[in-house]
Amino acid sequence: MKRQLNFDEFLIFDGAMGTMLQSYGMKAGNLAEGYNLERAEVIAGIHSTYLNAGADVLTTNTFSANRFKLAGTGLVLADVIRTAVEIARWAAEDKLVALDIGPLGQLMEPYGTLSFEAAYEAFAEQVRVGAAAGADLILIETMSDLYEAKAAILAARENADLPIFCTMTFQEDGRTLTGADPLTMVNTLQSLGVTALGFNCSLGPKELLPLVREALKFAQVPIMVQPNAGLPQSVGEETVFQTTPAEFAAYAKQMAAAGVRILGGCCGTTPAHIQALKSMLADEKPVKTKVPRLTAASSATTTVTLGGAVKIIGERINPSGKPRLKEALRQGNLEYLLREAVDQQDHGAHILDLNVGLPEIDEKTVMVKAIQEIQGSVNLPLQIDSVNPEVIEAAARIYNGRPIINSVNGEAKSMATILPIVKKYGCLVVALTLDEQGIPKTAEERLAIAERIIKQAAEHAIPKEDIIVDCLVLTASAQQQEVQETIKAVRLVKEKLEVKTTLGVSNVSFGLPARDLLNRTFLAAALAAGLDAPIMNPLDTEMRGTVQAFNVLWNHDRDSKEFIANHSTQEDKTVAPAGPERKDLTKIVIAGLKEEAAAAVRALLKEEEGLAIVVRHLIPALDRVGNGYEKGELFLPQLIQS
């Protein structure tokens, strides 16, 4: 690089390329990238104008230069990108050149047909050419799908050694098209190792300001904002942007005062906007912010933070002791797993543990398919549970969001194998307090193993906030004297190490009668000792009630709102019915359970006419999905699955 990035000063990017090209006569629908080869002097002139306006970074004219958008145009991807970098490099003088990478223009699975690895390869192709041509950094921008952003980031990391900036585009409801909110974006992207992250396009600076402030509460890396010049307005056959350079700069100053360090412009902005921005910040310095690290897992749309209110990790998708689940896995019946996932979500789980380990199946293939199936219908983050490092890596790679890995332990081999995967994919990880000698008898020995894992994780640049310690529950039937050691170990880990904790609660009652009673009594004791996230059956209403009551008594449930909502009417059963007993076709459709929907329709056909089923059941179900989508309660995956 010609100079190092310096975030002690504001970093100013350029503004819109398309807006400027339109002033040179480019028609709507024309591919801007063709100008790199056909009218290079125009592109160079635009770059120079932005440079003279005060831009520190020039963005290459390669937003749509990918294999999908160039198909059928006669343009060769390598020529387009190489020439674009050369033009920007010539114009930049001593400033920086950012390789611009936009969306592929294809819907990724599960919304469309583009696989994660196909998207990765398309982005990798762009990265390799741009890096070889001399780009100083990579700008991945205008992403509306967190999954596509992840594919692009991994492609950038694995095919070049350049700083990575990634920005996403948000709608007026405060979410991306596929449902990510600012916290989920920040938690996922910064865990993947980007240099900076933030917002661009879609909205103007006024509309982006509250979203930016929300992101700044959680970001450990610099925040970047490139707004449009206001919301787009249709005037005749043209789209215009009406925010003036002065108004644009005034909002940018508010963003800078809140903590934004990197600013530029998107659609509708011109060199005048960048010049006004540069002038507005000429006498300012970036605000230094200190943000506490969170222990937070994310799905594509939802982030769950450990600490404060107790979070339930659903245990039901694990074949151990479950013959029906084992048979479903052998038969490749992933809808059975999806039913379990939906049921646990419906009954208050915050995170779902996912274990598909059976010796007679291809665990890696099934795990990947199960994640994709569940993430298509369920909003909860997942905990990837396997003893096979290859399974863990394959799952972490294709997971949409930020998962938890279950688990690493104190064995040297385990730490050497699992911790690099955790770091590479930005995961949280469960740390089991066992080592080559097995599970220690005393709490102090378990604490020592936890300390050793945390120290080794730090060698991989994994902060302790990304580690969730499991002090391991032994059975009261066989090791009764050690049950209290587990409780003591939880307390020690919380006091000495200040990390989050988890336990597989139901292990304590194995081999004894009245297991539910033992489980919830042990759960209460563990919660009082500092347990943050019990792995348990959320369909057990008494266990769930214990968690809800604890959250009230420990002042985590403000005004007892959740407790009142869940206990205003008494439930009849200790354990709620699981998925196979689900009968309501409307709920089935909303959950996206294809096979179960077909079976329910066949059953209804014995009692009702086909048209009546459509009118009375299917249309209301789809209406509910549509209304939920409009209200931001359901997101694109659920809409498509339904």
Q: Are 304 and 311 a contacting pair, CB within 8 Å?
A: yes
Neighbours of 177 (CB within 10 A): 16
pLDDT of residue 581: 43
Distances (CA, A) of 37 to 26, 381, 449: 14, 45, 60
Strands in 55-104 per DSSP E: 57-59, 96-101
What's the average model confidence in pLDDT over 394-409? 99
In DSSP terms, which residues pair with 324 in a beta bridge?
none
What's the average model confidence in pLDDT over 240-267? 95
Q: Measured at the alpha carbon of residue 46, what is the angle toward residues 44 and 52, in degrees to the nearest 5?
A: 100
> pLDDT for 163-203, tens place per residue?
999 999 999 999 999 999 999 999 999 999 999 999 999 89
Round to the nearest angstrom and report the end-to-end CA distance of the chain.
49
In whole angstroms, give the CA distance from residue 271 to residue 168: 22
Residue 572 has pLDDT above 70, yes or no: no
In DSSP terms, which residues pair with 431 in a beta bridge?
408, 469
pLDDT of residue 313: 99
In our burial notation (b when 16+ CB lie closer than 10 A, e otherwise), range 408-417 reads bbbbeebbee
Residue 617 has pLDDT above 80, yes or no: no
Residues in the chain: 642
pLDDT of residue 582: 44
For the question of whether the overall pTM of this predicted structure is more than 0.75, the answer is: yes
Helices (H) and strands (E) in the chain, counts: 25, 20
In whole angstroms, give the CA distance from residue 67 to residue 49: 30
pLDDT band, residue 255 (cuts 50/70/90): very high
> pLDDT for 430-477, tens place per residue?
999 999 999 999 999 999 999 999 999 999 999 999 999 999 999 999
> pLDDT for 291-335, tens place per residue?
999 999 999 999 999 999 999 999 999 999 999 999 999 999 999
Closest C-alpha among 129, 109, 127 to residue 118: 109
Residue 260 has pLDDT above 60, yes or no: yes
Residue 532 has pLDDT above 80, yes or no: yes
pLDDT band, residue 29 (cuts 50/70/90): confident
SS3 637: helix
* pLDDT above 70 as % of the chain: 93
Helix (H) or strand (E) holding 152: helix 146-159
> pLDDT for 112-171, tens place per residue?
899 999 999 999 999 999 999 999 999 999 999 999 999 999 999 999 999 999 999 999
pLDDT of residue 642: 65
pLDDT of residue 166: 99
Residue 360 has pLDDT above 80, yes or no: yes
Q: Quick one: tokens of 580?
A: 């196979």
Q: Are 141 and 153 a contacting pair, CB within 8 Å?
A: no
Residue 630 has pLDDT above 80, yes or no: no
* pLDDT above 90 as % of the chain: 81
> pLDDT for 346-358, tens place per residue?
999 999 999 999 9
pLDDT of residue 481: 85
Closest C-alpha among 375, 373, 366, 364 to residue 402: 375
pLDDT band, residue 579 (cuts 50/70/90): very low
In whole angstroms, give the CA distance from residue 503 to residue 532: 9
Residue limits of CATH 3.20.20.330 in the chain: 11-280
What's the average model confidence in pLDDT over 261-275? 97
With respect to CATH, is domain 11-280 assigned 3.40.190.10?
no
Residue 577 has pLDDT above 80, yes or no: no
pLDDT band, residue 44 (cuts 50/70/90): very high
- Characterise 411 by phi-psi region: left (phi > 0), alpha (psi -120 to 50), beta (else): beta
Distances (CA, A) of 169 to 174, 192, 197, 504: 10, 18, 11, 39
In DSSP terms, which residues pair with 289 in a beta bridge?
none
What's the average model confidence in pLDDT over 367-386? 97
Mean pLDDT for the chain overall = 93
CA dihedral for 524, 526, 527, 531, sign (positive or negative)? negative
pLDDT of residue 580: 42
SS3 302: coil
Q: Quick one: tokens of 393?
A: 């890596």
Q: Which residue has the higher pLDDT, 173 or 619?
A: 173
Any alpha helices (H) in 568-635, and if so which ranges?
585-591, 594-604, 610-613, 619-630
Neighbours of 288 (CB within 10 A): 9
pLDDT band, residue 27 (cuts 50/70/90): confident
Any alpha helices (H) in 347-442, and if so which ranges?
363-375, 389-398, 412-425
pLDDT of residue 285: 95
Q: Which residue has the higher pLDDT, 478 or 367?
A: 367
In whole angstroms, give the CA distance from residue 129 to residue 136: 13
Amino acid symbol at 564: I
Residue 103 has pLDDT above 70, yes or no: yes
Q: Quick one: tokens of 467?
A: 């580690």
Q: Are 253 and 281 a contacting pair, CB within 8 Å?
A: yes
pLDDT band, residue 575 (cuts 50/70/90): low
> pLDDT for 488-499, tens place per residue?
999 999 999 999
Q: Are strands 137-143 and 57-59 parallel, antiparallel or unpaired?
A: unpaired
With respect to CATH, is domain 301-564 assigned 3.20.20.20?
yes
SS3 164: strand
